[in-house]
Amino acid sequence: MSQSADDLLFARATAAMPGGNTRSTVFVPPHPPYAVTGRGCVVTDANGHEVYDCNNNYTSLLHGHAHPEIVRAAREAVGQGSAFGLPTESEIDLAELLRERTGIPRWRFCNSGTEAVMMAVRAARAATGRGRVIRFHGSYHGTYDGVVGADAAGVPQAVAEQSILLPQDDPVAFEHAMATHGHETAAVLLDLMPNRAGLRPVSRAMAELVRKRTAEHGALLIIDEVITFRLGNSGLRERYDVEPDLTTVGKVIGGGFPVGAVGGTAEVMDSFNPLGGATVSWGGTFSANPVSMRAGLTALRLFDAGAVKRLNALGDQLRDELATAGLAVNGTGSLVRLLVDDYPRAWWDLYRAGVLVGTNGLIALSTAMTDDDVIEIGRVVRSVAPAR
Ligand SMILES: Cc1ncc(COP(=O)(O)O)c(C=O)c1O
């Protein structure tokens, strides 16, 4: 039997890379297909197979692939120098836009959500002089040592011991943890709708309780909006009456290029201020590079209040339709989580039928999709995924 183009790439890849690719998060056995092009909401793989992209690089592509205005902005930036050993106006522009949209007064940039979480935790530790971080089971905050599972290979026990892991949305467990450890807690790290925990929004009461108790105990509240920032012009937090001390974002604010950012109060963010004798150093050869900054700025400008509303409405419509057909679905707005037991089989069935989703059933819509595209996506998902 002749080998497909994908299989040939995989054979080459495994000779140079363990497992044949770089991201554990995109691996599906026996091996994931290799993407070749992305245009709008369609991705074509090395075998020439076309799929609706409902993965959108794990939610980061708000406008699908190769949006002409974002491509133009990135090209212009590259043409003027892709990165400098100096700051540029582009990072000021993006910080100002984020400040204007979120009301969060101070920002700094890095290259990924992982780095953003790492720097936020470090700032919280520096600001409080404490070590412990309270987190919630199933919430993914990237791959930094301090926020991965206690049993993750390669993480020293001393680091894992600094985390206290609590069940999601469980006020009793949280009250108990704060009563016992609140005085030694640097921060509580909260994702308002954790994907890996099932994409269920945290209750308003729980979010308010976390804010109240952290303030009482002198601990900081970090809200991780790396995934949820796409749900509103100022993220999912705009639906909660909670002001965090620090917020981490990433993905969509880079317009498809590598990015992360920490936003926060002037007081806490001053931990990074070299004018104020910073206690926390923030480096990153490519942090705030003008290509990511300009592409991100363009993507966010295109994502005005009207675009946010339309995209969220498309997601609500898809979720309702799937739920009515008996499928188990969670999420809100443009983020839909398909709860299917049988991954990776379901992933492959969807892929072969023409829909690319996250390896755990995460669907993220893009503004490149028309109403008809979303109807077709719904039809494909209903025809493939089992009802419960
Ligand atoms: C909530 C959350 N925080 C942090 C991260 C890490 O971001 P990155 O993959 O850009 O390092 C992710 C990635 O999916 C995430 O979902």
Count of Cβ atoms closer than 10 Å to residue 24 Cβ: 10
Question: For tokens 């609590």, what's the residue?
Answer: 166
In sequence order, the β-bridge partners of residue 107 are 263
Is the CB of 236 inside a 6 Å radius of any atom of ligand 1?
A: no
Instruction: Give the β-pairing of 185-190 and 132-136.
Output: parallel
What per-residue confidence (pLDDT) applies to 372? 98
pLDDT, tens only, 204-245: 999 999 999 999 999 999 999 999 999 999 999 999 999 999
Label each residue of 194-205 as H, E or C: CCCCCCCCCCHH
pLDDT, tens only, 325-355: 999 999 999 999 999 888 899 999 999 999 9
Please, which residues have CB within 8 angstroms of residue 193's CB and are 6 or more apart in sequence? Answer: 199, 200, 201, 202, 227, 228, 231, 236, 331, 332, 335
What per-residue confidence (pLDDT) applies to 40? 98
Summarize the confidence of residues 118-131 as an average pLDDT: 96
Query: Is the pLDDT confidence value at 132 over 90?
Result: yes
pLDDT, tens only, 257-306: 999 999 999 999 999 999 987 689 999 999 999 999 999 999 999 999 99
pLDDT-above-70 percentage for the chain: 99
Is the CB of 114 inside a 6 Å radius of any atom of ligand 1?
A: yes
User: Residue type at 136?
Assistant: F
Query: Is the pLDDT confidence value at 387 over 70?
Result: no
Is the CB of 56 inside a 6 Å radius of any atom of ligand 1?
A: no
What per-residue confidence (pLDDT) applies to 365? 98
The mean of the pLDDT values for the chain is: 96
Please, which residues have CB within 8 angstroms of residue 342's CB and are 6 or more apart in sequence? Answer: 386
Q: Is the dihedral of CA 105, 273, 186, 164 positive or negative?
A: positive
Is the CB of 107 inside a 6 Å radius of any atom of ligand 1?
A: no
Q: What atom in ligand 1 is closest to the CA of residue 259?
A: 10
Question: For tokens 């300009």, what's the residue?
Answer: 294
Is the CB of 252 inside a 6 Å radius of any atom of ligand 1?
A: no
If one residue of 227, 228, 236, 247 were mutated to test the ligand 1 pocket, choosing by the most ligand atoms within 8 A of its CB, it would be 227
> Alpha helix locations (H) across 132-187?
157-160, 171-181
pLDDT, tens only, 88-124: 999 999 999 999 999 999 999 999 999 999 999 999 9
pLDDT-above-90 percentage for the chain: 93
User: Residue 388: pLDDT band by 50, 70, 90 thresholds?
Assistant: low
> 98 by DSSP, 3-state: which?
helix
Query: Is the pLDDT confidence value at 52 over 90?
Result: yes
Is 251 marked active-site? Answer: yes
Summarize the confidence of residues 13-28 as an average pLDDT: 93
The DSSP secondary-structure symbol of 386 reads P
**Host H or E run for residue 312:** helix 305-324
Compute CA distances 147 → 14, 49, 246, whole Å.
Answer: 29, 37, 16
Please, which residues have CB within 8 angstroms of residue 269's CB and are 6 or more apart in sequence? Answer: 105, 106, 107, 108, 123, 246, 262, 263
User: Residue 68: pLDDT band by 50, 70, 90 thresholds?
Assistant: very high
Query: Is the pLDDT confidence value at 386 over 80?
Result: no
- In the reported structure, the alpha carbon of residue 141 is separated from the centroid of ligand 1 by a whole-number distance in angstroms of 5
Which residue is catalytic, options 52, 58, 140, 351? 140
Is the CB of 226 inside a 6 Å radius of any atom of ligand 1?
A: yes
Domains of the chain: 5-62+304-384 (3.90.1150.10), 68-302 (3.40.640.10)
User: Residue 1: pLDDT band by 50, 70, 90 thresholds?
Assistant: low
Q: What atom in ligand 1 is closest to the CA of residue 139?
A: 1
User: Residue 151: pLDDT band by 50, 70, 90 thresholds?
Assistant: confident
Is 140 marked active-site? Answer: yes
Structure tokens at 175: 């009250």
